[in-house]
Amino acid sequence: KKVADRYLKREVLGEGTYGVVYKAIDTKTGQTVAIKKIRLGKQKEGINFTALREIKLLKELKDPNIIELIDAFPHKGNLHLVFEFMETDLEAVIRDRNIFLSPADIKSYIQMTLKGLAFCHKKWVLHRDMKPNNLLIGPNGQLKLADFGLARIFGSPDRKFTHQVFARWYRAPELLFGTKQYGSGVDVWAAACIFAELLLRRPFLQGTSDIDQLGKIFAAFGTPTSSQWPDMVYLPDYVEYQYVPAPPLRSLFPMASDDALDLLSKMFTYDPKVRISVQQALEHRYFSSAPPPTDPPKLPRPN
């Protein structure tokens, strides 16, 4: 069945945060695409104009490390977003026990992640929902960020769907303390969690609730002091936690190089005003020191 006279629907790829994702063929180009059908449920008739304007902006975001939004249209009361189709994602790579990730492979994956983020931050677009299954991998090993800007347009998906609990593990401490004025630092924190996950081959901070998530963060990096993070005490959901000292970061990542560890600690800085920016992270010596990042086509991928 053709959608919008252009897309031939194939199988369901999965249920996402905002609705069902289909595989489809673009009859105009012959290209395989992924169509995300977004339920517009309570938003009355159709889509509000702000959302449409923002989606138009997303269509302009074109970068080798960003999933291209090919088309967007309303159909039967749902909004359809058409993206380039991608074979696999970083979560599948991390979970695949048959895959060995060398330090050069990890460097390549995290560099592509940061490059995609840098491009969007330069255009003042935040991701806000970074996690390994949002980092899609194309046939030539190219990593591309998916779902850019959607959290802002359609609202934070948290708590609405049970499978979303995983996103909590990548949430920055300022978000967990209920900040309303978050910035690009939330994506840096999430990228740091993904970096850590590539090194450990399991999610780094697996909180079971928002409170537990903060507990896991504090156990890893020590309870933040108000000299480390002066604005913390003014955050809406701030509560005082029992003081826990930080273990040496090295003890948490025994396999990481000194350069990797230094970059990681700068990305995991508590105060979002002090936290390294994505651009600064890309200029960190970790990326210029040996080994050089693996060429994307040579990266290991699931069979």
- Residues with a catalytic annotation lie at 129
Among residues 16, 141, 185, 293, the one that binds ligand ADP under rule CB under 6 A: 16
Distance of closest approach, residue 131 Cβ to ligand ADP, in angstroms: 7
CA 269 vs. chain centroid, Å, equals 18
Interface residue with ligand ADP, options 3, 8, 13, 200 (CB under 6 A)? 13
Least Cα distance to 131 among 81, 166, 95, 183 occurs for: 166
Closest residue to ligand ADP: CB criterion:
16
Rg over alpha carbons for the chain, rounded to the nearest Å, is: 20
Taken as a whole, the chain contains a residue count of 303
Binding of ligand ADP by 135 (CB under 6 A): no
- Residue 134 makes contact with ligand ADP by CB under 6 A: yes
Could you say whether residue 83 binds ligand ADP (CB under 6 A)?
yes
Q: x/- binding map, residues 162-201, to ligand ADP, per CB under 6 A?
A: -x--------------------------------------
The residue within the footprint of ligand ADP, chosen from 108, 113, 133, 184 (CB under 6 A), is 133
Site for ligand ADP in 268-287 (CB under 6 A): none
Cβ pair 88, 137 in contact under 8 A: yes
| By CB under 6 A, residue 69 contacts ligand ADP | no
With binding defined as CB under 6 A, does residue 93 bind ligand ADP? no
By beta-carbon proximity to ligand ADP, the closer residue of 132 and 215 is 132
Which lies closer to ligand ADP via its Cβ, residue 99 or residue 165?
165
Nearer to ligand ADP, 14 or 297 (CB): 14
- Is 139 among the residues that bind ligand ADP (CB under 6 A)? no
Pick left, alpha or beta for residue 210 (phi over 0 → left; psi -120 to 50 → alpha; otherwise beta). alpha
Q: Of the ranges 69-77, 130-138, 186-194, 255-263, which one interacts with ligand ADP (CB under 6 A)?
A: 130-138
Select the span of 16-24, 112-120, 176-184, 202-210 touching ligand ADP (CB under 6 A).
Answer: 16-24
Binding of ligand ADP at residue 17 (CB under 6 A)? yes
Q: What are the φ/ψ torsions at residue 73 (nearest 5 degrees)?
A: -155, 150
Least gap, CB of 166 to ligand ADP (angstroms) = 8
In contact, 106 and 199? CB cutoff 8 Å:
yes
Residues 249-287: b if buried by 16+ CB within 10 A, e if exposed: eeebbeebbebbbebbebbbbbbbeebbbbeebbebebb
Question: How many chain residues are in contact with ligand ADP, going by CB under 6 A?
Answer: 18
Report the residue from 136, 186, 188, 267 that binds ligand ADP according to the rule CB under 6 A.
136
Give me the residues that bind ligand ADP (CB under 6 A), please: 13-14, 16-17, 21, 34, 36, 67, 83, 85-86, 89, 133-134, 136, 146-147, 163
